[in-house]
Amino acid sequence: MTTKLSAASLGAIAPSAVIPAYAPSDLSPGILHFGVGNFHRSHQAVYLDALFNMGEGQDWAIVGAGVMDGDKDIRERLKAQDYLTTVIAQDADRSEARVTAAMIDYIVPGDTQAIIAQLADPAIRIVSMTITEGGYCINPASGTFDPTYPAIAADAAAPDRPKTVFGLIVAGLKLRREAGVPAFTVMSCDNLPHNGAIAKSVAVGLAALSDKGLAAWIEENVAFPNGMVDRITPATGDREREILARDFGIEDTCPVFCEGFKQWVLEDNFPTGRPALEKVGVQFVPDVAPYEHMKIRILNGGHAVIAYPAGLMGIHFVHEAMENPLVRGFLEKVEREEIIPVVPPVPDTDLDEYYKLIETRFANPKIGDTVHRLCFDGSNRQPQFIIPGIKDRLENGGGISGLALESALWCRYCFGVTDSGAEIAPNDPNWDRLSKKAREAKADPANWLAMDDIYGDVGRSEVFKNAFAGWLSALWANGTESVLKAYLEDGT
């Protein structure tokens, strides 16, 4: 027998899950968050829930917001269970469920005026976001604001009727400026190097397209702290809902499964205040960059290294990929020989130990993370996770054979067919473009590297072009398994 999650049923759920020690009615809003997906609910919301359980910071509750069509469904699901979420943290040898209540409202997605009104409310002192790398409307190769991005151009033409997250943020800041209300802090929780600085460039750039005075005010008055976030959090499906019902007796239509590990490193730049998250494990530092480099290159880059060979070999789960000696060997060789050597030192951190921890986390059989998820959105992730490392290696004269192979594997994956001939479903917002380029690259690998918005100068490097072409030709001639064996034997 299961118990349906709701505020009224928390007492019945308490024997099998940790429940809030506070009443949601005692909370008041302080944060508006865009992108109430699984990662946000396994990370930021969990940290806030822990703080509220201590009886502190209860004026920093979350109000959810969204701009995507899919946000409407998750909002209805959460509203039906009083905005509660069951978070199941899973290590290899244990699982723990907790119910979080850090979000107290969720504005109807698409209700632009309601979102702008909430943004203008002085109670909102932080606006946070998990909108993925693709939500920042930047040129992937340069990492700079792209004013020609269609959604940005539309918001610039109609700033009072914005459709993007940044259009809404700018509209909210405009109202605060006009009312003499202090600006909120914009806090990015996405996997982008210097995510705060990028968020600032987008907000200021978008505002400048229609109101240069407002752009100057944002530049001067709005804080955009950089941050590094980390917790492996797969998508939720029937498998996860069934595990929750079977093992914990809880019926939750949108639970979140994640690993036990979590990390959050933030630049302490919050002029209008912030919750005391250092009391629940958040690290506040003057410079987030070393932590960003470490996590994005070693973990996110490592995910990309295992994703595409595993996808081409028909491997479903990430832990199964780590059980394959070729995939795991590929990861270790590329990490130790090409990725880690160009990661700058990180305070109080041994990069070798950090990599060992990453291996353990990837191999966790409880998580149920899928290779398909890791392969998603390479057009936005490769320029953040992989290509900067290639650039660094080329600049210091280091070898790039393994990273070139990773890039060739991504190209081969985007062709849309596995080594066994099974169709690969579209798995990128730019899938049509990528699959077309991958077909062209089969005959001439240079066609893939000609995507200048993704590869930039790296795609014009003769060293990289030659290595990439050699690996792509080998993948078509011999298949992924044989190519991985060859790479592990001699690296060429």
The residues facing 229 across adjacent strands are 264
Residue 401 has pLDDT above 70, yes or no: yes
Residue-range domain boundaries for the chain: 3-285, 289-490
Amino acid at 84: L
Percent of the chain with pLDDT over 90: 96
- Backbone φ and ψ of 213, nearest 5°: -65, -40
CA 130, 131, 134, 136 dihedral sign is negative
Q: Are 232 and 195 in contact (CB under 8 A)?
A: no
Compute the average pLDDT of residues 103-123.
97
The predicted structure's pLDDT at residue 62: 98
Counting every residue, how long is the chain? Answer: 492
Least confident of 107-111, 233-237, 293-297, 488-492: 488-492
pLDDT tens-digit profile of 409-424? 999 999 999 999 999 9
Written as six digits, the tokens of 9 are: 């049923």
Please report how many Cα atoms fall inside a 13 Å half-sphere around the Cα of residue 130, on the Cβ side: 19
Written as six digits, the tokens of 433 are: 């473009």
The Cα 126–Cα 111 span in angstroms is 20
DSSP annotation of 98 reads E
Compute the average pLDDT of residues 356-381.
96
- The helix (run of H) or strand (run of E) holding residue 472 is helix 462-478
Residue 491 has pLDDT above 70, yes or no: no
Q: What's the mean pLDDT when you consider all of the chain? A: 96
CATH class of the domain defined by 3-285: alpha beta
Q: How far apart are the first and last CA of the chain?
A: 57
Residue 492 has pLDDT above 70, yes or no: no
When pLDDT is cut at 50, 70 and 90, the band that residue 490 belongs to is confident
Amino acid at 419: D
Percent of the chain with pLDDT over 70: 100
When pLDDT is cut at 50, 70 and 90, the band that residue 141 belongs to is confident
How far are the Cα atoms of 35, 104, 187 from residue 125, in angstroms, in the given order? 17, 16, 10
Compute the average pLDDT of residues 432-444.
98
The predicted structure's pLDDT at residue 40: 98
Residue 212 has pLDDT above 70, yes or no: yes
Residue 143 has pLDDT above 90, yes or no: no
The predicted structure's pLDDT at residue 69: 87
Q: In terms of Cα–Cα distance, which of 267, 265, 279 is closest to 57?
A: 279
Q: Encode burial over 158-197: b for 16+ CB neighbours within 10 A, e otherwise.
A: ebeebebbbbbbbbbbbebbeeebebbbbbbbbbbbbbbb
The Cα 258–Cα 282 span in angstroms is 18
CATH fold for domain 289-490: N-(1-d-carboxylethyl)-l-norvaline Dehydrogenase; domain 2 (1.10.1040)
Compute the average pLDDT of residues 370-395.
96
Residue carrying structure tokens 């490392």: 389
Residue 158 has pLDDT above 80, yes or no: yes
Amino acid at 443: A
Q: Is 93 helix (H, G, I), strand (E, B) or coil?
A: coil
Q: Are 378 and 405 in contact (CB under 8 A)?
A: no
Q: Are 86 and 255 in contact (CB under 8 A)?
A: yes
The predicted structure's pLDDT at residue 24: 93
Q: In terms of Cα–Cα distance, which of 87, 105, 345 is closest to 234?
A: 87
pLDDT tens-digit profile of 171-200? 999 999 999 999 999 999 999 999 999 999
Compute the average pLDDT of residues 239-254.
97
The predicted structure's pLDDT at residue 5: 98
CA 192, 166, 227, 50 dihedral sign is negative
When pLDDT is cut at 50, 70 and 90, the band that residue 92 belongs to is confident
